Amino acid sequence: MELEAVKTTKKMRILIIDDDQLDRNAYKRYLKSCSLNFWTEEVSYGTGALTKIHENDYDCVLLDYYLPDLDALEFLDVLTVDDFCSVPVVVITGLDNGRHDIDLLKAGAQDYLTKKEINSQILERSISFAIARHKLTLEINAINKNIDSLRELIPICAYCKSIREDGGYWSDLESYITDKAKIDITEALCPDCCNESSPVKQILIVDDDELDRKRIKRILDKHKDEFIVTEANCGTDGLAYLQDDEYDCLILDYDLPDICGSDFVKLMPTFGIDTPVIFVSGTEDRAHVEKMNKSKNRGYFNKNELSTSLFILNLDTVINSNVK
């Protein structure tokens, strides 16, 4: 996941923690030269800084590694233990040996700078990315917490599958998962449910014209409790779908660019496919209509004459004619 620097028009609150007044003044000069909209507060001791953080909301903290009462690792440890560390921390030190950088990041700091390398551009970038990294860390922690709560033993009703929450309240399973895990539930039918005696029918639309597919799908969507619709934009893909799954009806464009309708239905038996077919075409050809209607599990519609009631009636008739 890529971090992006924070861009904001609101005034940022930055707490500078350093016992050296000259260093504090230098950081403020750097900040004035960058594009951040901010105001600062200063404190010389770690204990006083902890009190300020506990009582105020800061957007970022600039923390000197060596303070008179605490070093940076001790400071971060107190923040974590007291569980009010909801602020990004950039640690600054006069040492340039790289000994502490990994330990500081593990302890909860978002970045680590040496005083020799700091300028306006580096400080601005460090603050911006520290804020972004801290925000991402909080989001990840919240997700992990929700996942952990779902791993716990959940009291569930053996009959209706409702979930008992704290306080004795009962919630349905979908609402419980959506609320606790902050995820959306999508609905589909498993193969076993599709094969049960059910009014829900699997329909495959094969048509190279996207607008025509959408027109037919809109008609079927008016009866979405009865039909599950799959789409293919060419005959080759349509045959592949029919081989991979069972469909109750095929709505087939007669004039596909790769396989014409008559050739398509001739190929179906070679793959062991006997799915009922409704042909649709944008041209009126009575010879084709008479030829296609000779089979009991075939139907035909002109695309220019599609109507919801007649189409659904024709679809039901064709599907039922194939019931053995």
Q: The domain 12-144 belongs to what CATH superfamily?
A: Response regulator (3.40.50.2300)
Q: Are 230 and 203 spatial neighbours (Cβ–Cβ below 8 Å)?
A: yes
170-171 vs 60-64, strand pairing mode: unpaired
119 token code pair: 């300028």
Domain definitions of the chain by residue range: 12-144, 153-186, 191-321
79 token code pair: 């923040």
Domain 12-144 identical in fold to domain 191-321: yes
Q: What is the pLDDT along the chain (324 residues), one digit of tens a residue?
A: 444 445 555 789 999 999 999 999 999 999 998 888 889 999 999 999 999 998 899 999 999 999 999 999 999 988 877 655 679 999 998 877 666 778 888 888 999 999 888 999 999 999 999 999 989 888 888 877 776 666 565 677 766 667 777 777 777 766 766 676 666 655 555 655 555 545 688 999 999 999 889 989 888 888 777 888 999 999 999 999 999 889 999 999 988 988 888 889 889 998 889 899 988 887 665 565 556 555 556 888 888 777 777 788 778 888 887 654
Is the CATH number of domain 191-321 3.40.50.2300? Answer: yes
Model pTM greater than 0.85? no
Q: List the helix and strand counts (H, then E) for the chain.
A: 12, 12
